[in-house]
Amino acid sequence: MSEGSKGSSLAFGQVVIGPPGSGKTTYCHGMQEFMGRIGRKVTVVNLDPANEAMPYQCGVDIAELITLPDVMENLKLGPNGGLIYCMEYLEANFDWLQEKLAAFRGHYYLFDCPGQVELYTHHEALKNVFAQLAKWNFRLAAVHLVDSHYCTDPGKFISVLCTSLSTMLHVELPHVNVLSKMDLIEQYGKLAFNLDYYTEVLDLSYLVDHLASDPFFRNYRRLNEKLVEVIEDYSLVSFVPLNVQDKESMRQVMQAVDKANGYSFGDQEHRSLEALMSAAVGADFHFTTTLAVQEKYVQSQDKALEEEVMDL
């Protein structure tokens, strides 16, 4: 991995980004295991200086260079300022990162990134790190995780769409937006629309109308309409649903990312994937694709409605 492209081979990978609590570390752990089972050599690179308990096997850890607690203690910075300082410090020490990554040449890389939203919407440090990786012949796709519970609140969902769009435009990488924790969506409450409305980001005027039924948001209808217009004008944001515990769901996300960063696997990996998926299909296996989750969700809502009618 020499500077520029002095004969260095291509490297492929994902930068896993998203707000705190969206499941980035869990995703890296699950994807590392899933890809490992189909024969892909995977190295996880922890770029989160606040990440202490890592469930995955970590190949490169930024904690060897700098940690958030040390920065906060020594420089008297808060968590946000400390994270920004750590990313700027990483940017100033590209040689350390290059040396560490060189030890895993030929691997597929998962970069577990910090959860501070500002790092992906307007701060330059991580964007510059990704740009430097591109100069080292890395072909990366950004996997932006969003907790699916935001679907239950139309106001929050519009905010998520704006954040996702801003991140896509700022990071400047092929982008896959993911609705994480789909296995928990039933616990989050009733959705105003079918699940595919949120994954495909269909006509958002319905979302504005739904918001207008709330007296608080009625006063901000014009603002919401303008925000929705911006999102629809770019027509970039859509989501892939994800349940990390479900093999079919993981396959769909992996293939979406492979298409985004241009990764093409060989016959052996294809056969391993087919064997893994066929072994998973059985009487006790529950698919959690968008349709299956949606049907399960609708059934639970119908059951709740029946119970309410019986109580009456």
Q: Residues 198-224: pLDDT tens digits?
A: 899 888 898 888 888 888 788 888 998
Residue 310 lies in a domain: no
Residue 75 has pLDDT above 70, yes or no: yes
Residue 72 has pLDDT above 90, yes or no: yes
Residue 192 lies in a domain: yes
Question: Is the pLDDT higher at 150 or at 214?
Answer: 150
| Least trusted range by pLDDT, from 50-54, 102-106, 179-183, 190-194 | 190-194
Confidence of residue 8 (pLDDT cuts 50, 70, 90): low
Identify the pLDDT of residue 5. 43
Residue 2 has pLDDT above 60, yes or no: no
Which residue range(s) make up the domain with 227? Answer: 206-236
Instruction: Give yes or no: residues 177 and 244 share one domain.
Output: yes
Specify whether the CB–CB gap between 240 and 256 falls below 8 A. Answer: yes
Residue 214 lies in a domain: yes
What whole-number percentage of the chain has pLDDT above 90? 62
Identify the pLDDT of residue 292. 47
Tokens found for residue 170: 């700022």
Instruction: Give yes or no: residues 154 and 175 share one domain.
Output: yes
Residue 109 lies in a domain: yes
The number of domains in the chain is: 2
C-alpha 312/C-alpha 309 separation (Å) is: 5
Instruction: Give yes or no: residues 82 and 194 share one domain.
Output: yes
Residue 290 lies in a domain: yes
Residue 5 lies in a domain: no
C-alpha 281/C-alpha 39 separation (Å) is: 20
Identify the pLDDT of residue 311. 58
Identify the pLDDT of residue 268. 85
Identify the pLDDT of residue 65. 97
Helix (H) or strand (E) holding 211: helix 205-212
Instruction: Give yes or no: residues 61 and 83 share one domain.
Output: yes
Specify whether the CB–CB gap between 183 and 288 falls below 8 A. Answer: yes
Identify the pLDDT of residue 26. 94
Which residue from 181, 163, 152, 155 is spatially nearest to 119, judged by alpha carbons?
163
Confidence of residue 303 (pLDDT cuts 50, 70, 90): low
Specify whether the CB–CB gap between 250 and 258 falls below 8 A. Answer: no
Confidence of residue 306 (pLDDT cuts 50, 70, 90): low
At position 253, the amino acid (one-letter code) is V
Residue 293 has pLDDT above 60, yes or no: no
Instruction: Give yes or no: residues 93 and 217 share one domain.
Output: no
Mean of pLDDT values over 112-139 = 95
CB atoms within 10 A of CB 238: 13
Instruction: Give yes or no: residues 280 and 134 share one domain.
Output: yes
Question: Is the pLDDT higher at 285 or at 197?
Answer: 197
